[in-house]
Structure 1
Amino acid sequence: MDFFCSTVGRRLAHFLSARVEVRTIAPATSSSLLLSCLIPGDVILVEGNTRISGAIRYLTQSTWSHAALFVGDHVAGRPRAFVEADLVEGVRIAGADQFEGLNTRICRPVGLTDGDRTRLCQFAISRVGQQYDLRNIIDLARYLLPTPPVPQRFRRKLLALGSGSPTRAICSTLIALAFQEIGYPILPGVHREKAGVPGCDACFDEILSVRHHSLFVPRDFDVSPYFAIVKPTIEVGFDYLTLMWEVADARSSAQEVEAMVVAPRCADPHTVDHERPVLHARTSCCEPEDPERPAGRRLI
């Protein structure tokens, strides 16, 4: 039975990890530009292009379906490396080329000490080679539908349901564990307690509680108030004055305007500013009236 479940589970994992075409309006960041802005400890979120990515984006109501931790040069022989959890291969070292052509976002923890940054990276690296048990077929099967028919309020809970080994590989369990190891918050629970300050009834302390690491998803790093969002285009020195814009064809622009619904008053020819370029459009007010045509706006 174990052999059967393992075989079916592995085939399911390969099927879900297969790449598919994904349409997105967000431009991809080149790997060279991405690497120029990263420092060890950064979390990179990815809009994945595999079958399972669609289900994760739907269930988490987010653009992001995958997360990886940048560990820099902490891996011998692998400069500028990432640590990520893969459904089939387990925890592995990856290069920036893994995310080439994909929409990404950099989430940066703020104020990390050098010691904690090293501990964070070493913790993730120590998990490299860890495999995930793919015998949990039920845990894998939930991702076969790109848009599972689940009410919105239960979608995130579906990821936590069972918390099987494959789901821990798919979600951000590894990275969440690494940050919890150094005591850095992602999205902790917050409750307030009276501070006990004499004469101050309105004084409260905010107490943070640690969420279980299996409940984290990639979008949590994006919405976390403790991570800064780094935009590579801006970091390298963005100047809108240096941009080169494509000039639209005047004829096609005029045709687009001509197709609009237009019915202004006819301009007085004596008050027209002939120095200012005017984009003309056909209007009903400047044509002979048709008694059978209703007054007002008309479609051309």
Structure 2
Amino acid sequence: MLVVMALGANAIHPRGEPLDMLVQREYIRAAARSVASVAKQHQVVLTHSNGPQVGLLSLVNEGNEDVGSSLLGVLGAQTHSMLGFMLEQELRNEMPGRKVCTITTQTIVDSDDPAFKKPSQMVGSAYTFEEAQAVQSANPFWQLQQDGNYFRRVVASPSPREILELPSLRHIVSSGDITVICGGGGGIPVRRDCEGKLHGIEAVIDQDRATQVLAEGLEADALILLTETEAITTNAGQPDSRMIRECTPQALEALTFADISMTPKVESLCHFVRAGGKFGAIGALDSVQDILAGRSGTFVKVDVSDGITYYD
């Protein structure tokens, strides 16, 4: 079975943990252990978040007058390579003799995407009002937005249209025995001009949506989004909250979620299943074997009795 798996930001770097490389390595090692337990039985294509790491590199660059601010695409490529290196190394340690490779991928977006007119994705450092004024003066094309008592830079998050390296990935995956790491942070955002030439563009691609595009392009059997939560819950935090075991796309889309980060995950899983995937699932990284066995996580399928079922 071909399984496309996405490691969310909190799955490989829990909230509140320092971005120290030794700490990061420990979480990567634990993540690789879980991924390897699947890759030993199925072919895996792995994507991962890079938000905290991009924020750290952006902060380092902003504080260095000799370096200055880097384009988001460059930071994305740097973090993809950094995290890919660690994931690949730890996967090789978990699966001696098995084939593993890391591929930096670019994601094509539409220059006319409405998201460019309403940047909403916060990136990088948090600034006081005085700091924000200085940053805005030094970077007149940046858009800053208030976030509580602070200000942060906001960039566009356009819809992913195409994974540029998809034909190469199909060729690699056709071997049937290579674990592939790609699509870090949703891929490096690029656009085509009127002559078809490629250019970087200041944007952040939603990882879940890009992973869905990748999974459909590879005609994967399953798409699994790994997070810090065990399953999708209804009325999270309320006494009547229930954990969903299985549901159809229609039943899942009829629900509302307080956590806005759940929306792209739900939409991605539903789109993948409707496009022909056997199932989509969301659950905790350390429960990935139980997810595949149907004992944990939330499954999205086209054929679920009554449309939705719950855990007892």
TM-score w.r.t. the length of structure 2 is 0.20
Q: Which has the higher contact order (CA 8 A, sep 6+)?
A: 2
Structure label with greater radius of gyration: 1
